[in-house]
């Protein structure tokens, strides 16, 4: 992106000034290098989002922002229903409530080493991953509806995990306001054998070593120490969420113009929050978000079963579970007034600072754990939410490294076998049913997650707590 | 080459483009491009047939509906497809897809398509008289 056309607000924030149909400016959090590396399409997409009815304050882009469909990935935008604000299926994306969950183990890297092969094989065999994989679980209609209402709370009630887990999941493990009646028969049908599956693409299940601690007190409160091993799961609402997004994007494309919403791009299809289709979407989307929370809860249960069998200790406690593709109704102070707004985060993580209502009670004084996934060859980070993030970007932070290469570019440059071998030499075990998938997800296809996290920290969006390096990665 | 398909660049996702002498042929080729996001269509045996019907207010939405229906059929049937036929009459599409149940060892599927987006969506004739049907799909 050409920085000459941006206003530099401070060391880490760049403004796309209001012009044309834009109702608010765009603000990008990035270093000069990161913003310079962003595609011009990011600017175009942010300007389009900034033109939507009822948007408040600004359209934001996180340091990992890249070109998406409609909204940029790494985008945050809030809409006020009192001002004709809209909700957009494209602003959440197809993988509703895709997110990251991190579990703590009682083991060290040294403990894991003799068990590495058994753990890698055990996880690969026990956790369904990849295209066409199916779950051992089958939910009937009644159970499916209960799951869509209850999220991870339903999963715990069904025997997957422990009640203590719920306190460490955003929204207490269940999004209020879900409306399962708005989830179609086809969306339900797609989920029949997908509960407790990882999916494919950039989804993963990783054993990770804590390599660095930046804030010892917070790391201690989070249960993290150098040399400790954690497990992270990255996935979402599977076929049910994909189908909900497909169906409502179509309805919004057809019905949106009837509300006088003029769009630069059909992918931005939006409808007023206070409209029949707006309300139906919001209820269906939250039901799909509950499906994602339940899915990650079940996957964690499978991981615990493997640890119990291989290490004799399946008591992995939950650090946190947070979505990065979701729209939620939140209260924020905007221009000196507290307002209820619908915040779309598409490839952005919530980052609540100390004292915020949804921060777990035992972490209230510290802030919410912010989980940032990297690529399978680099590293991931645990951060903590900040009070400053509230004024910066409605309490939001980045969600990962962000791609810098298309899948076909990455496949042209990498052979799957070579990627697996290169990582093996660095003591990273890759388990995947698809070597082509591994080539497309090669670490070189991603931006430098370290740079993204440095800017997130420096900009005050979240603060660094610990860095994680992959030991075993099960790819979908 | 006409008819033919290709993928076009998108940073995070994949663009699928079909070209044909007719609109229906361009839709068939776009479906092959969709399949090729996950598997090599040439490695798919045409042992099962799935019939699809769609109706949409315009032909861009008809493409979205056609490809979205194939994503759905692949997901619920655990299928991969290697051959398509399409008939278009006004705003109505009838299609047939031939394929088989996905076999991870033989097909080596790379990634599943989550949904069909409206980004770079285009259906229409080109200056040379051939048709193009394209959009970006989310993976």
B138: left (phi over 0), alpha (psi -120 to 50) or beta: beta
pLDDT given at position B104: 87
| Mean pLDDT computed over A325-346 | 96
Of A216, A209, A234, nearest to A467 by C-alpha is A209
* Closest-CA distance of chain B to residue A240, Å: 10
pLDDT tens figures, A66-106: 988 889 999 999 999 999 999 999 999 999 999 999 999 99
Cis peptide before B3 (omega within 30 of 0): yes
Question: Under an 8 A CB cutoff, do B13 and A69 touch?
Answer: yes
Taking domain B4-138, whether its CATH number is 3.55.10.10 is answered by yes
pLDDT tens figures, B55-70: 999 999 999 999 999 9
Mean pLDDT in chain B?
A: 95
Is residue A112 within 8 A of residue A471, CB to CB? The reply is yes
Instruction: Tell me which residue in A94, A245, A406 faces B11 most closely, judged by beta carbons.
Output: A406
Closest-approach residue (CA) in chain B for A255: B57
A388 pLDDT higher than 80: yes
ipTM field:
0.96
Q: How far apart are CA A301 and CA A314, in angstroms?
A: 9
CB-defined contacts A:B, below 8 A: 131
Per-residue pLDDT band for A376 (boundaries 50, 70, 90) equals confident
| Mean pLDDT computed over A221-249 | 97
Q: How far apart are CA A329 and CA A358, in angstroms?
A: 13
Closest-approach residue (CA) in chain A for B57: A254
Instruction: Tell me which residue in A201, A245, A406 faces B9 most closely, judged by beta carbons.
Output: A406
Instruction: Tell me which residue in B11, B65, B78 faces A66 most closely, judged by beta carbons.
Output: B11
Sign of torsion, CA A410 A413 A417 A423? negative
Closest-approach residue (CA) in chain A for B8: A408
| Mean pLDDT computed over A102-131 | 95
pLDDT tens figures, A188-213: 999 999 999 999 888 999 999 999 99
What domains can be seen in chain A, in order of their start residue? 3-404+446-475 (3.90.1860.10)
| Mean pLDDT computed over A53-78 | 94
Contacts of A175 (CB under 8 A, 6+ apart): A151, A286, A289, A290, A293, A328
Tell me the residue length of chain A. 476
Closest-approach residue (CA) in chain A for B11: A406
* 3-state per-residue secondary structure call for chain A: CCHHHCEEEECCEEEECCCCCCCCCEEEECCHHHHHHCCHHHHHHHHHHHCCCCECCCEEEEEEEEEEECEEEEEEEEECHHHCCEEECCCCCCCCCCEEEEEEEEEEHHHHHHHHHHHHHHHHHHCCCCCCCCCCCCCCHHHHHHHHHHCHHHHHHCCCCCHHHHCCEHHHHCCCCCCHHHCCHHHHHHCCCCCCCCCCCCCEEEEEEEEEECCHHHHHHHCCCCCEEEEEEEECCHHHHHHHHHHHHHHHHHHHHHHCCCCCCHHHCEEECCCHHHHHHHHHHHHHHHHHHHHHHHHHHHHHHHHHHHHCCCCCEEEEEEECEEEEEEEEEECCEEEEEEEEEECCEECCCCCCCCCCHHHCCCCCEEEEECCCCCCEEEEEECCHHHHHHCCEECCECCECCCHHHHHHHCCHHHHHHHHHHCCCEEECCCHHHHHHCCHHHECCHHHHHHHHHHCCCEEEEEEEEEEEEEEC
* Closest-CA distance of chain A to residue B83, Å: 19
Q: How far apart are CA A186 and CA A90, in angstroms?
A: 20
B129: left (phi over 0), alpha (psi -120 to 50) or beta: left
Residues of chain A contacting residue B121, judged by C-beta atoms under 8 Å apart: 266-267
pLDDT given at position B123: 98
Q: Is A164 exposed, middle or buried (0-12, 13-18, 19+ CB in 10 A)?
A: exposed
Q: What secondary structure letter does DSSP report for B67?
A: H
pLDDT given at position A67: 86
Q: Which residue has the tokens 């998406």?
A: A68
Residues of chain A contacting residue B5, judged by C-beta atoms under 8 Å apart: none
Is residue A81 within 8 A of residue A60, CB to CB? The reply is no
Q: How far apart are CA A351 and CA A456, in angstroms?
A: 11
A234 assigned to active site = no
Could you tell me if A255 lies within 8 Å of chain B, comparing CB atoms?
A: no
Could you tell me if A346 lies within 8 Å of chain B, comparing CB atoms?
A: no
Domain ranges within chain B, ordered by starting residue: 4-138
């Amino acid at each position: 992106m050409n920085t000459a056309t941006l206003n530099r607000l401070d060391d880490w924030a760049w403004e796309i000034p209001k012009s044309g149909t834009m109702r608010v400016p765009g603000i990008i959090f990035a270093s000069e290098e990161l913003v310079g590396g962003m595609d011009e399409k990011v600017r175009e997409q942010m300007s389009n989002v900034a033109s939507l009815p009822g948007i408040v304050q600004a359209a934001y882009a996180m340091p990992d922002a890249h070109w998406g469909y409609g909204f940029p990935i790494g985008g945050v935008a809030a809409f006020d229903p009192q001002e004709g604000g809209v909700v957009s299926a494209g602003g959440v994306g197809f993988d509703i409530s895709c997110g990251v969950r991190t579990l703590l183990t009682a083991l060290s890297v040294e403990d894991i080493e003799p068990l590495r092969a058994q753990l890698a094989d055990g996880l690969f065999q026990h956790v369904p991953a990849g295209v066409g994989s199916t779950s051992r679980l089958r939910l009937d209609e009644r159970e499916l509806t209960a799951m869509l209402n209850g999220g991870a709370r339903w999963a715990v009630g069904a025997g997957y995990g422990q009640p203590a887990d719920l306190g460490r999941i955003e929204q207490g493990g269940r999004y209020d306001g879900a409306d399962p009646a708005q989830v179609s028969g086809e969306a339900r049908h797609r989920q029949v054998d997908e509960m407790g599956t990882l999916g494919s693409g950039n989804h993963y299940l990783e054993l990770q070593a804590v390599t660095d601690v930046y804030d010892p007190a917070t790391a201690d409160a989070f249960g993290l120490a150098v040399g400790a091993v954690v497990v992270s799961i990255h996935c979402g609402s599977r076929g049910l969420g994909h189908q909900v997004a497909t169906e409502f994007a179509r309805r919004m494309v057809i019905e949106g113009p009837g509300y006088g919403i003029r769009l630069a791009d059909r992918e931005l299809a939006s409808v007023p929050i206070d409209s029949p289709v707006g309300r139906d979407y919001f209820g269906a989307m939250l039901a799909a978000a509950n499906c994602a929370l339940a899915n990650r809860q079940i996957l964690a249960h499978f991981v615990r079963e493997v640890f119990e069998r291989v290490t004799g200790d399946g008591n992995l406690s939950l650090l946190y579970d947070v979505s990065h593709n979701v729209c939620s109704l939140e209260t924020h102070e905007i221009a000196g007034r507290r307002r209820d707004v619908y915040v779309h985060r598409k490839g952005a993580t919530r980052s609540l600072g100390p004292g915020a209502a949804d921060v777990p009670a035992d972490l209230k004084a510290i802030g919410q754990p912010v989980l940032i996934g990297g690529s399978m060859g680099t590293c991931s980070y645990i951060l903590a939410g900040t009070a400053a993030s509230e004024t910066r970007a409605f309490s939001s932070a980045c969600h990962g490294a962000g791609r810098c290469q298309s899948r076909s570019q990455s496949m042209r440059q990498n052979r799957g076998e070579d990627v697996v071998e290169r990582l093996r030499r660095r003591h990273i075990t890759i388990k995947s049913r698809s070597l082509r998938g591994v080539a497309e997800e090669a670490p070189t296809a991603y931006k430098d997650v370290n740079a993204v996290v440095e800017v997130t920290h420096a900009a005050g969006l979240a603060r660094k707590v610990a860095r994680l390096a992959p030991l075993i990665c099960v790819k979908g | 080459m006409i008819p033919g398909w290709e993928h076009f660049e998108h940073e995070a996702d994949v663009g699928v483009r079909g070209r044909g002498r007719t609109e229906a042929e361009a839709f068939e080729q776009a479906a092959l491009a969709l399949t090729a996001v996950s598997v090599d269509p040439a490695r798919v045996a045409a042992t099962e047939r799935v019939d699809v019907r769609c109706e949409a207010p315009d032909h861009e939405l008809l493409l979205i509906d056609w490809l979205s229906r194939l994503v759905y059929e692949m997901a619920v049937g655990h299928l991969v497809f290697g051959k398509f036929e399409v008939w278009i009459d006004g705003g109505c599409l009838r299609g047939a897809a031939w394929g088989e149940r996905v076999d991870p060892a033989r097909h080596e599927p790379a990634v599943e398509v989550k949904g069909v987006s409206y980004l770079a969506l285009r259906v229409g004739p080109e200056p040379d008289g051939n048709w193009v049907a394209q959009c970006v799909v989310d993976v």
